[in-house]
Amino acid sequence: MMNTKPQKSRELALQALYACEVGKDTAFGPVFETIAGEAARSPAVADYGRKLVEKTLNAKQEIDELLTKHAANWDLKRMTVIDRNILRMAVGSFYFLKIPRLRS
């Protein structure tokens, strides 16, 4: 399976969201830049990933409310960090990310 630029951007965003949550770091910028720099991503991939993380974190409370409402019999705290952040990113993409989709 070939990774496209949007997939690479989402991978980068997920790594940053995970690092922010596990590290309890609320300033995602330095965390994101470290991860993006270590991964040597292209500027387009890094830019889309940064926007995805930013929009997801800015709408985190709303996203968590939606997830709590629709995740039958699951408390967000019981979900693994990766699962919770994948869901947050997906909801953030659908509802809050108002940028054009990156073309491969």
**Radius of gyration of the chain measured on its C-alpha atoms:** 13
How much is the pLDDT for 94?
A: 82
The highest-level CATH class for domain 5-95 is mainly alpha
- The first and second tokens of residue 84, run together, are 């919770």
- Region 76-103: mean pLDDT is 81
pTM of the model: 0.79
Q: How far apart are CA 66 and CA 88, in angstroms?
A: 9
Residues of the chain with pLDDT > 70, as a percent, come to 81
Is the torsion defined by CA of 49, 55, 60, 63 positive or negative? negative
